[in-house]
Structure 1
């Protein structure tokens, strides 16, 4: 294969000569000019972005087709397994750790739905492990396969459907059904399904760009899963008295772990922080006056993912705020009670070397497993047996739900609550609709007043 690293790109232009609107991507490999037309500007921009990313990674471009090595590999794929592996590896370099984990998880589920029913099929857990820990990871991060997994890999290779079979609507429907359920067979949340469908749609669009499919088959399939409410279950929301009892109970857990986390959980309740936001909170982000309200200026988060997905090799990457541009900040006013708690925490425990307030004994970030274990034990101390068996504050994240619900029920305007919580107003009202107390009584009174006038 004759290749070159001498690549130049031009801006996308609208094709004026075509009867129907189209957009042309133009580039040059060596001295050979290349072009490709797309029906929409979005498709053209996606293709050009992939090409530029490949050039940025230092990939060689084939002179004949003008495509980079990663696209050639995907284009030459004959089965979905081969194509999906090439697709994931092409997207890997410019994705965040959490996005890589989501991409791998989605493509694992999709791939398991695109298999022939061949004899000798390994159990699903083994197939999933091979895909997640080997197939969909870069070569230097792949786990070594044991004999059972090696046999499973051979079976997967032989059983994978050809990419072209995705032209059939029934094949696409099978995939949609597979990604609409959780591992335990329960229906996945709407947000989970939409995220996985978006990944699948983009992968199919990539196949269209490479000429493997004539058009994106998802655009022709009308299929929706059964609706699962994304609203917060009001049964998980604690009142202020219960919240304070739980926060106090955290300090009783363990020799030091509960005390080290005694400031982190209040940030979720009094400031409505997500756990990853609280984990990334630094002393310089906190304005803690001796009296009155304080202010948290959020900038960094520490989301947790598998080590195999992060560039640093750590389980917690440093990221910006959720669904905001990298350098965006969010100001959250905090009540005097939280100011006092954080001042006491800093005085008693200091911070990590990088300025984080909440750290393990060795200076690391508390894992989700670690702080969830502390929370479960605190519930045993603070709640009655019936409450422990109920959904009430079942997860640390429910403290955030309690905070946002409290703000809304206190009459704080929705735009202000949304800004503090880092939500859009429409998402805020949709998610917390059933946690706003008193709305039914107010509506009933207004209707009664109207009927008597």
Structure 2
């Protein structure tokens, strides 16, 4: 559908057609004459009044029919962007992880309120997002009951949402790209956030191509460059082995019991390069823990944290397949004696949860990411210098994983083996950890120096 704001309203002419009088409303769209006949002057006047109201609120007019979007028959304009966004979310629901569902919704919370007509009595953007977040972008059985005000907000949004076909127009698509380029507060969004939201928009439009709304993805014709995202690990975040041991030894000193229960989890992140969600689902049956020597962890599942409205169970944590792996695919990680000893001690002290999980709260639950973060920040205060505390050094528990992988690479472990243990592809491993491979720099520099002195 091609649209325009170039609208010039004419008048109403009386015409005698055989034995019947007709009243013809005339107007121009993008320089093209348009007309519509009515049996009475009152009907013609009402029609012209509707056109005039549409121009006042800034509606776009369809060049083919000459009508504003609000007056087009549904079958002539196809689904609205809101309707298609809802169907997009529901189509992907059963095959998506909770975090993927949340990523999709987060992008649509930026896009849907931006792709609307300038209709009167617009609710606040936050009110629109609240209705989308808690009702419109959820399956029917997950939706919260709406208040009278919220119901009115949703009704406004349903009427004002632009047709999906409108995204075929470059200026509309640029409005969408501008919307994903800022935070909900209006400040510039981070590069990774923008790229994730753009990916959702692109994928949604690919679905629209499949359904014959577009011949090709409209985004392919837009010259727009996403901000460059940082894809390499900053070596300033990586602790050395001495610092890592000092940090881990200080973990039990935080809190009455929480730190003591989390020491072994943080040790798994450092000594085995587990992702936090992988450590959260680690079970005793996954571990071979001999009295001496190296042990083995065989990962089966991860236990990521999500928002309850997006998970299958309605709980914050639920098991999922390992990242980038098929169902029932496992990952084997040899673990050094120091980690074997820490895990044996932890299990002896705290036992396991009913389902066999090694790391659990006193009531058998799962520690949240905010609990991890709180303990870790307190540990940094106990161990690091004031300058280091304000730096990015080991700023998050996840940085222990980066320290582990960097250590393995710089110790000369082949990249293929490191990638296998860490759950990466070799290509991603070498790209992400390129700046952390300090052990190679001196060797390469010496080779260059040898050539220069020949």
Structure 2 gaps, min length 5: 1-73
Mapped partners of 1:212, 1:372: distance in 2: 46
Deviation at 1:437, TM superposition (A): 1.4
Deviation at 1:98, TM superposition (A): 2.3
Deviation at 1:194, TM superposition (A): 4.4
Instruction: State the secondary structure of the residue aligned to 1:297.
Output: strand
Deviation at 1:239, TM superposition (A): 1.2
Q: Which residue of 2 aligns with 1:205?
A: 206
The answer to whether structure 1 residue 262 and structure 2 residue 263 are counterparts is: yes
Q: Which residue of 1 aligns with 2:144?
A: 143
**Equivalent residue runs for 1:7-406 within 5 Å:** 78-146=79-147, 149-183=150-184, 185-190=187-192, 192-406=193-407
Structure 1 window deviating more from structure 2 (194-203 vs 327-336): it is 194-203
Mapped partners of 1:97, 1:180: distance in 2: 23
Q: Which residue of 1 aligns with 2:416?
A: 415
Q: Which residue of 1 aligns with 2:31?
A: none
Contact 2:239/2:403, CA 8 A, preserved across alignment? yes
Q: Which residue of 2 aligns with 1:3?
A: none
Mapped partners of 1:290, 1:252: distance in 2: 26
Q: Which residue of 2 aligns with 1:42?
A: none
User: Cα–Cα, structure 1 residues 122 and 376, in superposed 2: closer, same or farther, change >3 Å?
Assistant: farther
User: Cα–Cα, structure 1 residues 341 and 201, in superposed 2: closer, same or farther, change >3 Å?
Assistant: same
1:22-76 per-position Cα deviation (integer Å, ceiling 9, x unaligned): xxxxxxxxxxxxxxxxxxxxxxxxxxxxxxxxxxxxxxxxxxxxxxxxxxx9998
Deviation at 1:141, TM superposition (A): 1.2
TM-score by length of 2: 0.78
User: Cα–Cα, structure 1 residues 107 and 357, in superposed 2: closer, same or farther, change >3 Å?
Assistant: same
Deviation at 1:199, TM superposition (A): 2.7
Deviation at 1:115, TM superposition (A): 2.6
Mapped partners of 2:317, 2:190: distance in 1: 26
Instruction: State the secondary structure of the residue aligned to 2:297.
Output: strand
1:114-166 per-position Cα deviation (integer Å, ceiling 9, x unaligned): 23344544443333222122110012212333455444434423432111111
Structure 1 window deviating more from structure 2 (402-411 vs 104-113): it is 104-113
Mapped partners of 2:292, 2:418: distance in 1: 23
Mapped partners of 1:169, 1:143: distance in 2: 36
Mapped partners of 1:348, 1:100: distance in 2: 38
Instruction: State the secondary structure of the residue aligned to 1:251.
Output: helix
Q: Which residue of 2 aligns with 1:442?
A: 443
Structure 1 window deviating more from structure 2 (87-96 vs 250-259): it is 87-96
- CA RMSD, Structure 1 to Structure 2 (Å): 2.3
Structure 1 gaps, min length 5: 1-72
Contact 1:172/1:218, CA 8 A, preserved across alignment? yes
Structure 1 window deviating more from structure 2 (314-323 vs 93-102): it is 93-102
Mapped partners of 1:384, 1:74: distance in 2: 67
Deviation at 1:334, TM superposition (A): 0.9
Instruction: State the secondary structure of the residue aligned to 1:295.
Output: strand
Instruction: State the secondary structure of the residue aligned to 2:171.
Output: helix
